[in-house]
Homo-oligomer: A and B are copies of this chain.
């Protein structure tokens, strides 16, 4: 008469218990959280990823996350910071180096493609979820993003000034074109595909430097 009734619908608590079994139970930390969240944000979107989901993926309750992060937006901020951290310095080095512009461009593309390829989820988020940043941080990111683009642009300008790049193409537009080419990776690149990031970078450099058209195709 007072028998417990149990529905077949796995209740919330049940689900948690079951999952705990197969989770590796890695030591929780900001880094681990950010890494896991990156994957989820990239796959499902920032807004559509709940802290519950992140916690579940990590084998902890969402409450535990707050021990390591201030709030959800902080995770996003950390992702943006990561992207900039790994991107900025190397490009600055390349831009400042004593090299011919064509070589600079080649290296810049290689660098950018490399980052985009091996930080794929973070990169996806970087260019998709910027609307969710607010306040001064949003402005900082926007500024640094612009600065990054400017470094690229300068390489192009340098090439034009030195007379090795076509001066008919506006350097800003060219830069946007090349960056777009690279950033678009996040829409289609999957690790383990036909080509390595290095090969892709080589193709892109070929395209950006010499174009598709064969030089002797004079009649075109």
CB closest residue in chain B, given A31? B4
CB closest residue in chain B, given A177? B181
A212 to chain B, nearest CB (A): 5
Q: Which of B3, B47, B203, B217 contacts A177 (CB 8 A)?
A: B203
Number of A interface residues in the complex (CB < 8 A):
79
**Contact (A206, B168) CB under 8 Å given A176-B184, A188-B176:** yes
| Chain B residues near A156 (CB-CB < 8 A) | 212
- A128 and B69 CA atoms in complex are apart in Å by 27
Instruction: State whether the Cβ of A220 lies closer than 8 Å to any Cβ in chain B.
Output: yes
Pairwise interchain contact A45-B132, C-beta atoms closer than 8 A: yes
Pairwise interchain contact B70-A12, C-beta atoms closer than 8 A: yes
| Chain B residues near A215 (CB-CB < 8 A) | 215
Pairwise interchain contact B177-A204, C-beta atoms closer than 8 A: yes
**Contact (A203, B174) CB under 8 Å given A48-B132, A208-B212:** yes
| Chain B residues near A143 (CB-CB < 8 A) | none
**Contact (A9, B70) CB under 8 Å given A48-B132, A131-B45, A210-B211:** yes
A156-185 interface code vs B (CB 8 A; 1 in, 0 out) = 100100011110111011101111111111
- A105 and B220 CA atoms in complex are apart in Å by 12
Q: Which 8 A-B pairs have the closest CB atoms?
A: A180-B184, A47-B47, A211-B211, A210-B211, A5-B81, A177-B181, A209-B213, A173-B203
A–B complex contacts, Cβ < 8 Å, 14 sampled:
A3-B86, A9-B74, A9-B77, A102-B217, A103-B220, A127-B187, A164-B214, A165-B214, A168-B206, A169-B207, A170-B203, A177-B207, A209-B220, A210-B213
